[in-house]
Structure 1
């Protein structure tokens, strides 16, 4: 059995998705799952799942949702009562698997292995994280964190693909990313590198100037030293940019 949070909240049992009806019931399950193997106190569980409405929620209401979840999961021991609250024992979540795969993909020395692992991680997202339990502060914060993990995996995958020489294939996607995230230095560094490696040195330098202007005008800061080093390497047509392992070091966030 696996609780899935990287998209709509549901459970997979025996390879079959089990839908969870009702946003509050989903929220209770999501809060328990996001605490991993930890016990969640009843007060904390109500606050995290109901947010601003928590004061109007009784303990009986929470217990009713927990009982309904046990029936849906088909196992009364899937959620155990453990003072001062409840403990989810339904098995690993897709979140835990995604984190494990992202970390493994980032550590891999072989870019092909890294790319395969990161693709497996990204395949776990079926939609925006916790997409159907929005509007509650704690869950919204958790969803934002999971989307940051997704972005981290996407950028790591781009680094791996650049190391594999897929510059031309990546350039259109990187250009869209850079325009959507005008202050993201790592995305701009990757775009600069992809453009340079496809013979577009002037365009790569133009991307740097665009970022430098945006950072100065809107944030009052200069690009990070690592990005300035990449600009210098491009200006000099540094041979290091032809060596994947050295180039990826310049692109690391």
Structure 2
């Protein structure tokens, strides 16, 4: 049994996706799942599901939605009443969010770039759409959705680092160009693009990326590139032999 939040909120029971009908029920299930093995207080559950109308909601109304969710999950013990609220009792890795966090952590910390890439690809495959896409409009859930999209970005950038460490510079260059356009002030993305361009024999283009980023940061944010990016520019200018070692990407381009 698993609750999925990386896209529309639903449950997977016996390998079969089960939709959760009703915005309020989905919101209650999402809050329970996001608390992991912790207790979600009744106040937070009611505010997430009813918003501005929360003050008029009785405990019995919330309880009826919890009962309906137990039926969806096919297990009366899946959601336990425990003061000051409820606990989703499906085990430590029973949400796609928990699995994604575990896989991203493994992919960021591992010593083998190939294993890291495999873990990060598995993590990214868990996203079916924007996280919590069908329970938007609730401030707390919107904050959680933003954080989960941040986790997705972390995984994407870590996968780029792993692939650079594997020597996949030419294959990555088009994706990095698109990422740099979409994230014009992201120094990590631009460092990765500089490294990829240099490793494919395009030193001038790599230095051009640095100059454009430096100008953009100065014009729009009033800051200079950080020290690590300046050191990468110097290494490219000098054609530092250390840059010919693909595994150096893991250290130079870490977030």
In structure 1, how many angstroms separate the alpha carbons of the residues matched to 2:207 and 2:49? 48
Quick one: distance in 2 between partners of 1:198 and 1:23?
A: 50
1:234 pairs with 2:236: yes
Unaligned runs of 5+ in 2: none
**2:22: which partner in 1?**
22
Q: CA RMSD in A?
A: 1.1
- Verify the 8 A CA contact 2:6 2:126 in the aligned structure 1: yes
Q: TM-score, normalised by structure 2?
A: 0.96
Give the aligned partner of residue 58 of structure 2.
58
Tell me the CA shift for residue 52 of structure 1: 3.3
For 1:96, the equivalent position in structure 2 comes to 98
Is 1:68–2:68 an aligned residue pair? yes
Q: Distance in 2 between matches of 1:219 and 1:24?
A: 41
Q: d(CA) in 1 for partners of 2:213 and 2:52?
A: 40
Residue in structure 1 matching 2:206, options 186, 204, 218:
204
**Structure 2 CA distance, aligned partners of 1:56 and 1:174?**
51
TM-score by length of 1: 0.97
Cα offset, 1:201, TM superposition: 0.7
Q: Number of aligned residue pairs: give it.
A: 253
Q: Runs of 4+ in structure 1 displaced over 6 angstroms?
A: none
In 2, Cα distance between the equivalents of 1:206 and 1:57? 59
Secondary structure of 1:3's counterpart equals: strand
Match of 2:127 in 1: 125
1:40 to partner: Cα distance: 1.4
Contact 1:106–1:114 under 8 Å retained in 2? yes
CA deviation after TM superposition for structure 1 residue 24, in Å: 1.1
CA distance in 2, matches of 1:29, 1:131: 14
Q: Tell me, yes or no, if the aligned pair for 2:106 and 2:119 is still in contact at 8 Å.
A: yes
How far has the Cα of 1:60 moved from its partner?
Answer: 2.4
